[in-house]
Amino acid sequence: DADVTQTPRNRITKTGKRIMLECSQTKGHDRMYWYRQDPGLGLRLIYYSFDVKDINKGEISDGYSVSRQAQAKFSLSLESAIPNQTALYFCATSDPHGTGTNTGELFFGEGSRLTVL
């Protein structure tokens, strides 16, 4: 089983619908992230969480919200989806304590492809 699991893997929805992308991890990491990938733009950070009580906006948080339900779970919501939110979304984790050095190394899920019509 994957250490970082995203559901759903693929989703097609319509403009205006509410969508939730879920991420769970078995790595025991405190830090979790949501990134968005668009062709030619690389990965852009949407939100990140350093622990259950710590949520922070990334560079492109408008139109998105998140919930950190537990150390292992971090959900991304689109309250009212629009076509330009069509993208590949990645959840990632990092562990600032495991190696004794906080390097920022990320461990990724396999992605959730969202299409908004």
Partner 1 sequence: AQSVTQLDSQVPVFEEAPVELRCNYSSSVSVYLFWYVQYPNQGLQLLLKYLSGSTLVKGINGFEAEFNKSQTSFHLRKPSVHISDTAEYFCAVSGGSNYKLTFGKGTLLTVNP
Q: Is 102 a residue that touches partner 1 (CB under 8 A)?
A: yes
DSSP string, 23-70: EEESS--SEEEEEEEETTTEEEEEEEEEETTEEEE-TT-TT-EEEEEE
**CA–CA distance, 36 with 30 (Å, rounded to integer):** 20
**CA–CA distance, 115 with 109 (Å, rounded to integer):** 18
Q: Is 21 a residue that touches partner 1 (CB under 8 A)?
A: no
Q: Is 7 a residue that touches partner 1 (CB under 8 A)?
A: no
> Out of 20, 43, 52, 55, which residue is the one contacting partner 1 (CB under 8 A)?
43
Polymer length of the chain: 117
**CA–CA distance, 37 with 35 (Å, rounded to integer):** 7
Q: Which stretch binds partner 1 (CB under 8 A): 14-22, 36-44, 60-68, 70-78?
A: 36-44
Q: Is 53 a residue that touches partner 1 (CB under 8 A)?
A: no
Q: Which stretch binds partner 1 (CB under 8 A): 17-25, 66-74, 79-87, 102-110?
A: 102-110
> Out of 11, 17, 27, 45, which residue is the one contacting partner 1 (CB under 8 A)?
45
Instruction: List contacts with partner 1 (CB under 8 A).
Output: 33, 35, 40-45, 48, 50, 90, 94, 96, 101-106, 108-111
